[in-house]
Chain A
Amino acid sequence: MQSAQLTEEQNAILRSRPTVEDRNVSDHAYTPAENVMSIAESAEAQPAIRLRGLVKRFGSLTAVDGLDLEVPYGTCVGLLGPNGAGKSTTMKALTAQVIPDEGELEVLGYQLPEDSKQARAAMGVVPQLDNLDVALTVEQNLLVFAHLYRVPAGERKAAIERALQIANLLDRRTSKVDQLSGGMRRRLLIARALLHQPRLLLLDEPTVGLDPQVRQELWALIDLLRSQGVSILMSTHYIEEAERLCDTVTIMSHGKAVAVGPPQSLIREHAGPDALEVYGPPLRLRELEELARQRGWRTRRTGTSIAILQSNGDTADLDGERRVTNLEDVFVLLTGEEIE
Chain B
Amino acid sequence: MITTSRRLHRLEGAALRGVMVREIVNFSSFWRSSTFSSTVDPTIYLLAFGFGFGALVSRVAGYRYIDFVGTGVVATTVLFSGAFPAMYGTFVKYTFQHTYDAILAAPVDTEELVTGEALWVGARTGVYGCVPMLVAMVFGLSPSWGMLLVPGIAALAGFGWACFGILIAAKANKIESFSYWQSGLLTPMFLVAGTFFPLTKLPNWAQVLGNVNPLFHCVQLVRHVVFGTESVADLGHLAFLLIFAFISWRLAIRFMERKLIL
A interface with B by C-beta (< 8 Å): 32-36, 39, 43, 46, 58, 92, 95-99, 109-111, 114-115, 117-118, 120-121, 125, 127, 129-136, 140, 143-145, 147-150
Tell me how far the C-beta of A103 lies from the nearest C-beta in chain B, rounded to whole angstroms: 15
* Residue in B4, B6, B25, B103 whose beta carbon sits within 8 Å of that of A136 in the complex: B25
Contacts A120-B105, A120-B106; A148 near B22 (Cβ below 8 A) = yes
Interface residues of B (CB under 8 A from A): 1-2, 4-8, 12, 14-15, 17-19, 21-22, 25-26, 29-30, 97-99, 101-109, 260-262
Which chain A residues border B19 with CB–CB below 8 Å? 148
The listed residue with most A CB atoms (<10 A of its CB), out of B5, B8, B105, is: B105
CB pair A136–B106 under 8 Å, yes or no, is no
B10 to chain A minimum Cβ distance, whole angstroms, is 9
- In the complex, given contacts A39-B5, A121-B106, A148-B108, what are 11 additional A-B residue pairs having Cβ atoms less than 8 angstroms apart? A32-B107, A34-B6, A98-B261, A98-B262, A118-B8, A120-B105, A127-B102, A135-B29, A145-B102, A148-B103, A150-B18
A128 → B minimal CB distance (Å): 9
Contacts of B18 in A (CB 8 A): 144, 147-150
In the complex where A33-B6, A143-B25 touch, is A99 in contact with B261 (Cβ < 8 A)?
yes
Cα–Cα distance between A111 and B14 once the two chains are bound (Å): 22
Q: Is the CB of A95 within 8 A of B25?
A: no
Asked whether, in the complex, the Cβ of B108 is within 8 Å of the Cβ of A131, the reply is no
| Smallest Cβ-Cβ distance to B8: which chain A residue | A117
Contacts of B5 in A (CB 8 A): 33, 35-36, 39, 109-110, 115, 118
Q: Are A97 and B103 in contact (CB under 8 A)?
A: no
Tell me which residues across on chain A come within 8 A of B17, comparing CB atoms. 147
Q: Compute how far the CA of A95 lies from the CA of B1 in the bound complex, rounded to whole angstroms.
A: 19
- Chain B residue numbers with a CB within 8 Å of A35 are 4-6
Q: Among the listed B4, B14, B109, B261, which residue makes an inter-chain contact with A150, where contact means beta carbons less than 8 Å apart?
A: B14
Measured between C-beta atoms, what is the minimum distance from A325 to chain B in Å?
Answer: 37
Cα–Cα, bound, A210→B260 (Å) = 28
User: What is the bound-complex CA distance between A71 and B180, given in angstroms?
Assistant: 49
Q: Are A95 and B104 in contact (CB under 8 A)?
A: yes
Instruction: Check A140/B105 contact, CB under 8 A, given A43-B1, A110-B2.
Output: no
Are B101's CB and A121's CB within 8 A? no
Q: Does B101 lie within 8 Å of A131, measured CB to CB? A: yes
Can you name 22 A-B residue pairings with CB atoms under 8 Å?
A: A33-B8, A39-B4, A43-B2, A58-B262, A97-B101, A97-B104, A109-B2, A117-B8, A117-B108, A117-B109, A121-B8, A121-B106, A127-B98, A127-B105, A133-B25, A135-B30, A136-B26, A143-B21, A145-B102, A148-B106, A149-B106, A150-B18
Most B Cβ at <10 Å: residue of A135, A145, A147, A149? A147
Q: In angstroms, how far is the closest chain A Cβ from the Cβ of B4? A: 7
B105 touches A97 (CB 8 A): yes
Q: How far is the CA of A66 from the CA of B119 in the complex (A)?
A: 41
Bound complex: CA A321 to CA B99 (Å):
49
What's the nearest-Cβ distance from chain B to residue A96, in Å?
A: 7
A133 x B97 contact (CB < 8 A) = yes
Cα distance, A39 to B4, chains bound together (Å): 9
| Set B4, B98, B103, B108: member contacting A129, Cβ < 8 A | B98
Expressed in whole angstroms, the Cα–Cα distance for A148 and B6 within the complex equals: 19
Q: How far is the CA of A32 from the CA of B106 in the complex (A)?
A: 11
Residues in chain A near residue B262, CB distance under 8 A: 58, 92, 97-99
| Among all A-B residue pairs, the 4 with the closest Cβ atoms | A148-B18, A131-B98, A125-B105, A121-B107
